[in-house]
A and B are shown apart, each in its own frame.
Chain A
Amino acid sequence: MTSAPRRGAAFYLLAGFFTLFILFLYGPTLTIAILSFQGPQGGLTFPMNGVSLHWFFNLFERQAVGDFGGSFSRSLVLGLVVMVVTVVVSVTAGFAFRRGFRGGSVLFYLTVSSLVIPSILISLGIGLMFNIAGIEPAWYSSALGAHLTWTLPFGLLIVFAIFNRFDRSFEEAARDLGAGPWQTVRHVVLPIILPSLVGVALFGFTLSYDEFARSLMTAGSYNTLPLEIYGMTTNVTTPVLYALGTLTTAFSFVVIGAALAAVAVLRRRRAGR
């Protein structure tokens, strides 16, 4: 603790505030995680009425709640597709913006407006568009497009931030050594930005996996997981709701953890070279 003498009352006050903020962020989620282990007779609030896995088993009984397995696999597949498309499209667009092109600022502001237009409007607009065109909305078509309007702006902004910090002399060196444009991208640029692209992928997957408002009118006849959970909030009054919440959050944590681990491994491998 070499810096200890510099820490005054302000530090401890702010540290206390920060701790409360973290408690505020994680406390409720932790509480439902505990409550999802309620005994079979337990209710939605404390006290715990015994400890059991009853509500987790209950989750997998098909008649107890809606189609949990189906909605999970749809959300999973959709999230993966959105993730891949987000990474590819935002990186290629990032290259375009780096070179500069006519209409670039129009496209940039269109992308930013995609971020600030309320989700319910995207949902309504795409729903109406499919309705008028006479196409049945589905999670793999209309909902995919709706999710991309939310993930692509994040992806592009992150790619901008990556390229703004990118040292152009690496590319010049590659070019001087005789590498073609594609070789430069493939063997120099992409390996360098790869750890940051994991971040883009994480945004793409999780934002789609958790999206509710943009799926509302676009998912068609089969629910994605957030729609299923929302449906449960109105007609399920047992801790099975918490069990589902806990499982979904645990899955999110696994995804986040995997992404962070991937970044760490990629960074270390690059440093080791």
Chain B
Amino acid sequence: MSVTATSTVRPAARPAAADRAAAVRRLGRVVPYLQAAPLTLVLLVFLLVPILTIVVVSFWDYDSIRIYPDFVLTNYQELLGSPVTWKIYLNTLKFTALAWLFTLLIGFTVAYFLAFHVQSLTWQMALFLLCTIPFWTSNIIRMIAWIPFLGRNGLLNQALVGAGVVEQPLEFLLFSDFAVVLAYVHLYTLFMVVPIFNAMMRIDRALIEAARDAGANGRQILWNVILPLCKPGIAIGSIFVITLVMGDFITVRLMSGGQSASVGLVIANEISLLQYPAAAANAVVLLLVVTLMVAALLRIVDIRKEL
């Protein structure tokens, strides 16, 4: 360091240079906090404070015109005391379970094909990209795009009637629970493909060779070697799919055509009726449920290790 060089010439300079070095060191220690500040600020203002606002407002009172600061439990009593709430939660959980099951099965198969059956890295990346591109396009349009397929006069019904499988066009294809789950699978399967593919690409190929040498057949390798090593990827994919479906309202509204309900849709409806405290109470309960589900899944995976 230059500190020693200057100190031999001018003894008086030593404390000043040392001070400067200390100042630089102190500045160096402050730097990470300055670098983290913008992210912290955005998340405080647009995540933490809004969520706290929801919690506070869930205890407020309201009438048809405005909301009042208060401390009442009526919003929660009405919510939890109503059998409709439990029915809607059950329906949302049903959607979540179905979407999770299908996205996992399809996502795992697709990732397995890409990771273990496509030999060249270029092809692997090209096909992987092909799977992820729809993620960067509009979800609403991808839902609308099912209308000409599933509608009463849609392609599927035309084909089924034409082939003589059914006499009348099937009514349940569009605007039904079937359409809702189909849209979830369509929209969210890539949230499973990406983390599972990532986990598969990290598996040391020597492990599979070793299993084969030890006499394991293809199914045993898949079940006893690949599947356990994919667990973190499956957990991350599951977190995405479960939280997206649990909080969804737009897919249920568009694809069920008002025939079905979800917790998110109830919240959205209460918002449009300006019943903010009721919506807030609903939101707090939903947040608790989702947090519990995510906490359970985080026991399987350490996210920071997976990046």
Same assembly: yes
Chain A residues within CB distance 8 Å of chain B:
3, 7, 10-11, 14-15, 17-18, 21-22, 24-29, 31-32, 35, 44-46, 88-90, 92-93, 95-97, 99-101, 103-104, 107-108, 110-122, 124-129, 131-132, 145-146, 148-149, 152, 156-157, 160-161, 164, 202-203, 206-207, 209-210, 212-213, 216-217, 226, 229-230, 233, 241-242, 245, 248-249, 252-253, 255-256, 260
Determine the chain B residues whose CB is within 8 A of the CB of A164 once the complex forms: 307
Residue of A nearest to B284 (CB): A121
Contact sample, A vs B, 21 pairs, CB 8 Å cutoff: A14-B109, A14-B113, A15-B117, A18-B110, A24-B186, A29-B145, A35-B148, A44-B148, A92-B35, A107-B43, A111-B43, A116-B294, A117-B51, A121-B51, A121-B287, A157-B307, A210-B140, A216-B271, A233-B144, A245-B138, A245-B144
Residue of A nearest to B294 (CB): A116
A113-B53 Cα distance, complex, nearest whole Å: 17
Q: How many residues of B contact A (CB 8 A)?
A: 79
A230-B142 Cα distance, complex, nearest whole Å: 12
A249-B280 Cα distance, complex, nearest whole Å: 34
Known: A28-B186, A117-B287, A245-B145. A210 touches B36 (CB 8 A): no
B45: interface (CB < 8 Å) = yes
A45 contacts B250, CB within 8 Å?
A: no
A129 contacts B148, CB within 8 Å?
A: no
B46 contacts A124, CB within 8 Å?
A: no
Tell which of B136, B142, B276, B286 touches A29, judged by Cβ atoms closer than 8 Å. Answer: B142
B136 contacts A202, CB within 8 Å?
A: yes
A11-B113 Cα distance, complex, nearest whole Å: 8
Known: A28-B149, A252-B136. A99 touches B42 (CB 8 A): no
A117-B51, A128-B50 known; 4 new pairs, CB 8 Å cut-off, are: A22-B131, A45-B155, A103-B36, A124-B50
Determine the chain B residues whose CB is within 8 A of the CB of A89 once the complex forms: 38-39, 42
A-contact bits for B228-262, CB 8 A (1 contact / 0 none): 00000000000100011011111000100000000
B127: interface (CB < 8 Å) = yes
Residue of A nearest to B129 (CB): A260
A-contact bits for B25-53, CB 8 A (1 contact / 0 none): 00000011101101110110111111101
Determine the chain B residues whose CB is within 8 A of the CB of A104 once the complex forms: 36
Tell which of A35, A103, A118, A256 touches B264, judged by Cβ atoms closer than 8 Å. Answer: A118
CB B194 to nearest CB in A, in angstroms, measures 11
A113-B39 Cα distance, complex, nearest whole Å: 13
A187-B62 Cα distance, complex, nearest whole Å: 58
B304: interface (CB < 8 Å) = yes
Determine the chain B residues whose CB is within 8 A of the CB of A121 once the complex forms: 50-51, 54, 247, 267, 283, 286-287
